[in-house]
Amino acid sequence: MTERNVSSARLEAISDAVIAVIITIMVLELHPPEAATVPALLGLWPQFAIYLVSFLVIATLWVNHRYLFSLMRRVDERVLWSNMALLFMLSLVPFSTAFVGQTRLAALSTAVYALVLFLAGIAFWSLAFGINAQYEPSDQPAAFALRQRLIHVAAVAAYVLAIPVAFLSALAALGLIVTPSLMYVTRLTRPN
């Protein structure tokens, strides 16, 4: 397949735009209560909780996506299509977020949400491998070291583990889902 003439700036711009739209759609799904009472407001906790989790996950993916793109040497077919797969999976986050919120953290909706994030994690992993393939092993940036790959495996494992856990406890599943985001804001995940 011949290389397409796509600049990294153009690919980054479409990625940023899609992620901005995703966040906008998610917040538009938050509806104020019909009654102006504290109990009515508190009754929205499932919708707000899942929105918060989704926002943290999207923010974490965006920050890591931005970092990956700073390491990209060129836009090749592998990078282009793995990035599009990632954007597709992320575009399902508003649907799965609304599904969880509207069903008040039901087991099936929480499992579907975890599945979407697991598949987004796999797509992100594919993008990272595509960018890593642009380097010789001796020239590999610290972001692709074994330690960093193991951290990403742990994040994806948390998402996949959240799928069966959702049928036992939706809150425990959401705890697993938010753990990688919390982990990524620590120094542990920064390359040496």
The amino acid at 177 = I
Q: What is the pLDDT of residue 135?
A: 93
pLDDT digits (tens, 9 = 90+) for 68-78: 999 999 999 99
How many CA atoms lie within 13 Å of 12's alpha carbon, on the beta-carbon side?
14
Angle between helices 93-102 and 8-28 (to 10 degrees): 10
**Contact yes or no for 48/30 (Cβ under 8 A):** yes
CA dist., res. 136 & res. 149, Å (int): 17
The closest of 160, 39, 48 to 100, measured between CA atoms, is 48
Q: Does residue 65 carry a pLDDT above 70? A: yes
Backbone region of residue 105 per phi and psi (left: phi > 0; alpha: psi in -120 to 50; beta: other values): left
pTM of the model: 0.91
CA dist., res. 156 & res. 164, Å (int): 14
The closest of 185, 174, 120 to 151, measured between CA atoms, is 185
pLDDT digits (tens, 9 = 90+) for 132-159: 999 998 888 888 888 888 888 999 999 9
Question: How many other C-beta atoms can be found within 10 angstroms of the C-beta atom of residue 50?
Answer: 29
What value does the CA radius of gyration of the chain take, rounded to a whole number of Å? 18
pLDDT digits (tens, 9 = 90+) for 24-53: 999 998 889 989 999 999 999 999 999 999
CA dist., res. 190 & res. 148, Å (int): 8
Structure tokens at 54: 């989704």
